[in-house]
Amino acid sequence: MGKRNNAMDPAGPVSHRVMPMGALFLLIALALVSCRGGRTERPPIHLNPNMMNQARYNPQTLSRNPPDGVVAFGRDARADGVGRADLLKEGPAQTGRDASGKWVARIPAAVTGDFINRGRERFDIHCAVCHGETGSGKTVLTEKGLPPPTALIDARVVAMADGEIFGIITAGARNMAGLGKRIPAEDRWAIVAYVRALQAARRGVPADLSDSQRGALP
Amino acid sequence: MVFPGFMNKVPMAVLAGALGLGAALTAAIWYWGGPKHTEVGYSPKQPIPFSHRVHAGDLGMDCRFCHNTVERTAVAPLPSGESCMSCHAFVKKDSEGVKRLAAAVAKNEAIPWVRVHRLPDYARFHHGVHVQAGVSCLSCHGRIDQMTQVRQVEPLSMSWCLDCHRKPEAQLRPAHLITRLDAVIPDPVATGRRIMESRHLKPSTDCSACHQ
């Protein structure tokens, strides 16, 4: 545009007016370009919201009219995951107790390498924040006011039955809240297996060593 | 002569102006009218100033501590208020946000979190399938662990879904790095190819996979 004006009117005042206007326009355009996808608190606008919002309840939205005779069951409970089915089942694998109500001594599942690895993954997700990755109980959270979590390599925890540790994960203990609703039962048993592995690693039981290594012990 | 001479230029000027304006308008709508502008950047204020930066970043909590069934279910659940109280019954008890949290839990009320990411009801999405396949939260939610307030960083448009479904290699990771948003994958494409082969992945581009 500037060029045409120049041809018409070389050195005339028009180009003096057009040039700054062009520059301003460019600047505004550049500023706008950078605001693409900028932070905003306003919800997205949908000019054509056909079928976006259908007459149904989506998960984790509030039900305004609970049908008669229906009981809300813990917000973590869901039909396809943890929760309902898990909590309603009975038996040592679900409660950690045998028929006489005593804690079961051993994990009621085959403890394989995969099982312990699963336990390690779940431990790092659900326990390590508070108990530390090695189960030492030392984390920044104690500085922030959390009562000191028990060291899981402590002799007292080593002496517990497997079922009791399972029970503590499920229902909590004193200052520790239960995690049963959030972790499925088989994963809780896998965590118990990993806690046992941590304890064994810490104690360094002689059975872990080869014969020649054991011979070298004082 | 009825019209002054400069009027001869008017039709051309009007035409050029209209074309220019049309082009500018088209460019503007193309650039700012699509989901890369209209959806990206949404970051509503939440009823409690919960910060992923503090919890997932500084404290290093795993996403699955709170969004616990994300590996199995379609929806990544938001945590219940009780699960926050396992710490906040002791930690930062007299901060304004934690007081509001404790009051809601005491009354057994749901916390009215404002939804950020939202697909239309006619599109179907499943978290479990993606997480099992090895797609990290990072690919779709960005560096959540650095956000004090959750912000949408991907357009979540159909073309965005399809771009990855056609070429997912660079986005796949080994299982233990799915929630490690800061992990650097040395050779993402080769790693992704290996994962695709070993798990026989074939993301669908059929309409019926996402629309029913």
pLDDT in tens, B55-81: 998 888 999 999 988 888 888 888 888
Any CB–CB contact under 8 A between A22 and chain B? Answer: no
B141 contacts B63 by C-beta, under 8 angstroms? no
Which residues in chain A (148-167) have CB-CB distances under 8 A to chain B?
none
Closest CA to B99 of B83, B84, B113: B84
How many domains does one find in chain A? 1
Low-confidence ranges of chain A (pLDDT < 70): 1-15, 17, 62-90, 204-218
Q: How far apart are CA A81 and CA A185, in angstroms?
A: 11
Task: Name the phi and psi angles at A213, rounded to 5.
Answer: -65, -40
Q: Is residue A40 part of a domain?
A: no
Locate the chain B residue with the closest alpha carbon to A143: B91
Residues of B in contact with A129 (CB under 8 A): 59-62, 65
CB atoms within 10 A of CB A67: 6
Residues of chain B with pLDDT under 50: none
A112-154 pLDDT, tens digit each: 888 888 999 999 999 998 888 888 878 888 888 888 888 888 8
Strand partners, A97: A103
pTM, 2 dp: 0.84
What distance in Å separates the CA atoms of residue B196 and residue B173, rounded to the nearest whole number? 10
Tell which B residues from 104 to 163 touch A, by Cβ distance under 8 Å: 110, 120-122, 151, 153
pLDDT of A67? 61
> What burial class does residue B184 get, using C-beta atoms within 10 Å of its C-beta: 0-12 exposed, 13-18 middle, 19+ buried?
exposed
Asked if residue A47 belongs to a domain, the reply is no
> 């679900």: which residue's tokens?
A94
Question: In angstroms, what separates the C-alpha of B152 from chain A's closest C-alpha?
Answer: 9
B13 CA: distance to closest CA in chain A (Å): 10
Residue range(s) defining the domain that contains residue A203:
90-208
| A51 Cβ under 8 Å from any chain B Cβ | yes
Taking contacts as CB-CB distances below 8 angstroms, the residues of chain A near B82 are: 177
Sign of the torsion formed by the C-alpha atoms of A75, A80, A82 and A85: positive
Host H or E run for residue A173 = strand A172-173
A39 in a structural domain: no
Indicate the residue type of B81. G
Tokens in use for A27? Answer: 């600047």
Q: Give the chain B residue nearest A146 (alpha carbons).
A: B90
CATH of the domain at A151: 1.10.760.10
Q: Are B153 and B194 in contact (CB under 8 A)?
A: no
| Contact between chains at A37 and B37 (C-beta distance less than 8 A) | yes
pLDDT at A2: 43
User: Which run of H or E residues covers position B98?
Assistant: helix B96-106
Smallest Cβ–Cβ distance between A78 and the set B73, B93, B176 belongs to B73
Contact B122 A51 (CB under 8 A): yes
